[in-house]
Chain A
Amino acid sequence: MATLTESQRRGAQTHPDLTEHSEVNRDVLAILSRPGKGWWALLTLALLGVGVMLGSWGWQIYRGIGVSGLTSPVGWGAYITTFVFWVGIAHSGTLISAILFLFRAPWRQSVYRAAEAMTVFGVMTAGLFPLIHVGRVWHAYWLIPYPNQRFLWPNFRSPLVWDVFAVTTYFTVSAIFFYLGTIPDVAAARDQSTGIRKKLYSVVAMGWRGTDREWHHFGKAYIFLAALATPLVLSVHSVVSWDFAMGIVPGWHATIFAPYFVAGAIFSGVAMVITLAVPLRKVFGLEAYLTTKHFDALAKLILLTGNIVFYAYLTEFFMAWYSGEPPERQMFWNRLFGHYWWATWIMLTCNGFVPIMLWFKRVRYSIPALFAISIFINIGMWFERYVIIVTSLSHEYEPFAWGVYRPSLPEMGIVLGSFAWFGFWFLLFTRLLPPVAIAELKEVLPPKVRRMKSDSAEA
């Protein structure tokens, strides 16, 4: 194995240290057979966090939604903030798996499986929050349009109903996309495992053999799924943004919201990919698969979307001033210097100023620096949604209706527990499914040939 610096020098190839197809199987499948102590420790921690979340939620169900800090005028607080946060996290997974697939970006192969898993688990986490937020969770099925005894239907003119359609579609599609992509890799795992694992993988792989017929239709279906997932991912966060933008609340009612939210979603999601990929690479020894080149490409995505987000922040402030509307102007002044000034400044620092460092190549090639920046962005993007939701609702038109919201202890327990819930699924994923896409990596490696040159093999 060559050293990393050498592989950077030979940067033309995506995976300069890999030559044989069987090496990919060996390295990736080895991950599935190594349950280290660290993994068990993390799993225990995650289960504890899930326990805190379920306990807090149970308390809220038992006592009622009053145990949260939600009250007039702030009816949406930490729950909706966290909902938007996790839906946003999910977005970059689909970007990397579907949009970059259509663009034929060669570096996506190594990261996309983990990013897709992040999407599925992100939406799973996000999906809990509307259920938590509605309070009487046993009535949550009222969200779904179904023929009931009074023939009442939901209001299709409401963005909240659009959101039900968008998020359920997104979850279904991303789960299917994720599952289909794993089938050939699970088949590879099936062929090299024994006992109960072999049985499990046999069921999941559904008898995949890698025949020409299977690959032929699979390839086409995959392209269509990617082509359908691409507009979907852009639509989902647009619809989430309209939950706000359709309301006439100062700080919400802006046409910039859809592109602003989509860029923010991808920005936060790519940061989360880095946060997850750095330990994954270290713990499982995937240095040959996740090279600094990959991290550089991810950092450039952060730079692009981060600039859009920062530009959107500035546009919001400018438009508030330029509109001449006193409530709008008041709102944005209040954001910077009012009761929640600290949240706004955390948002501006983490999302606006810290990512400026990524303009430097040395930072983009430094894994510890990227990891640190990605943590900043994760924090900043949570606060961005907090600022949008809470500052706006606490400070609407009438001064006598202004108020202050503070998350209660059970709310914080649920919000923090959601990270553990996400981590729990991600930890299971790293042990049970190949976290790097085996078949797609083989596609980019030169095949073993006897007579043809590998160049002519491209023709």
Chain B
Amino acid sequence: MSDATGLLASFDYLDDAVDSIKDLRKAGFSDDLTAYAAYPDHHIEHALGYGQSPVRVFTLVGGLTGTATGFAFPSFASMDWPLITGGKPILSIPAYVIPAFELTILFGVLSTVIGLFVLSRLPNPTPTVVYDPEFSAGRYGVYVRSGARSDEARTILEKYQPAELREGSDA
């Protein structure tokens, strides 16, 4: 929807928030919903119909890059200055397992974090556009970008007696 205005409801009770999300999705607002909670609540995730998070792709790619780097870099460095130490071969693959192991984890973690930031759109420089400080304390929030259909959305949200209902804009 091009219109970036909508309604922000705060609920005291979890089931009110979850049921309003379900009703809003039935009414065709699936792509215009944002839910807020102070902790990761799987009822809300379930009501919104989430699938698998693509963060895992970032983790896998990062980890494999790390493994490859961890073997390639010590191999290159050893061959670049071929000095025999301790009577071991120049390419001592078993010894490189350790840098490879550590870099697998390091690159995997860094790439997971990048994935998290990209996917959840952090850092978010204007966090207060559609937000209420109560959401980090205990209330549950549901924002619906209703645009022209705001009356319809308001009826659904009011059915569940929100503690607060106000208009907002995420433009």
Residues of A at the B interface (CB closer than 8 Å) are: 20-22, 25, 145, 151-158, 161-162, 165-166, 169, 172-173, 176-177, 180, 184, 187-188, 190-192, 202, 205-221, 224-225, 228-229, 231-232, 235, 239, 438-440, 442-443, 447-452, 457
Given contacts A173-B105, A187-B136, A209-B135, contact A220 B122 (CB under 8 A): no
Q: In this complex, what residue of A is CB-closest to B47?
A: A212
What's the least CB distance linking A451 to chain B, in Å? 5
Are the C-beta atoms of B126 and A207 separated by less than 8 Å?
yes
What's the least CB distance linking A49 to chain B, in Å? 32
Set A169, A172, A229, A440: member contacting B39, Cβ < 8 A: A440
A19 to B101 Cα, complex, angstroms: 44
A165 to B95 Cα, complex, angstroms: 13
Are the C-beta atoms of B39 and A439 separated by less than 8 Å?
yes
Q: In this complex, what residue of A is CB-closest to B89?
A: A157
A75 to B143 Cα, complex, angstroms: 65
Are the C-beta atoms of A209 and B40 separated by less than 8 Å?
no
Q: In this complex, what residue of B is CB-closest to A170?
A: B102
Set A152, A156, A208: member contacting B122, Cβ < 8 A: A208
Are the C-beta atoms of A232 and B105 separated by less than 8 Å?
yes
What's the least CB distance linking A231 to chain B, in Å? 7
Set B34, B39, B73: member contacting A442, Cβ < 8 A: B39
A165-B103, A210-B37, A213-B119 given; name 5 further pairs at CB < 8 Å.
A154-B77, A209-B127, A210-B38, A224-B108, A442-B38
Interface SS, A side: helix
Are the C-beta atoms of A208 and B56 separated by less than 8 Å?
no
Chain B interface residue bracket vs A: 35 or more
What's the least CB distance linking A378 to chain B, in Å? 28
Chain A residues with CB under 8 Å of B101's CB are 231, 235
Chain A residues with CB under 8 Å of B77's CB are 145, 153-154, 156
Given contacts A172-B106, A188-B38, A209-B131, contact A165 B98 (CB under 8 A): yes
Set B44, B105, B125: member contacting A207, Cβ < 8 A: B125
Q: In this complex, what residue of A is CB-closest to B121?
A: A213
Given contacts A153-B78, A224-B55, contact A165 B102 (CB under 8 A): yes
A190 to B124 Cα, complex, angstroms: 14
Set B41, B85, B122: member contacting A206, Cβ < 8 A: B122
A188, A216, A231: most-surrounded residue (chain B CB, <10 A): A216
What's the least CB distance linking B131 to chain A, in Å? 5
Q: Which candidate, B13-21, B23-31, B149-157, is the interface stretch facing chain A?
A: B13-21
Are the C-beta atoms of A210 and B36 separated by less than 8 Å?
yes
Set A154, A156, A225: member contacting B112, Cβ < 8 A: A225
Q: Give the residues from 31 to 58 in chain B that come closer than 8 angstroms, CB to CB, to chain A.
A: 33-41, 43-45, 48, 50, 53, 55-56
Chain A residues with CB under 8 Å of B12's CB are 448
Asked if B68 is at the interface (CB within 8 A of a chain A CB), the reply is no
Are the C-beta atoms of A166 and B138 separated by less than 8 Å?
no
Asked if B59 is at the interface (CB within 8 A of a chain A CB), the reply is yes
A418 to B71 Cα, complex, angstroms: 36
Given contacts A187-B136, A208-B122, contact A176 B109 (CB under 8 A): yes
Cβ contacts A to B, 20 pairs, < 8 Å: A21-B137, A25-B136, A154-B77, A165-B99, A176-B113, A180-B116, A187-B136, A192-B136, A206-B124, A207-B125, A209-B127, A210-B38, A216-B40, A216-B45, A221-B115, A225-B109, A225-B112, A232-B102, A448-B12, A450-B16
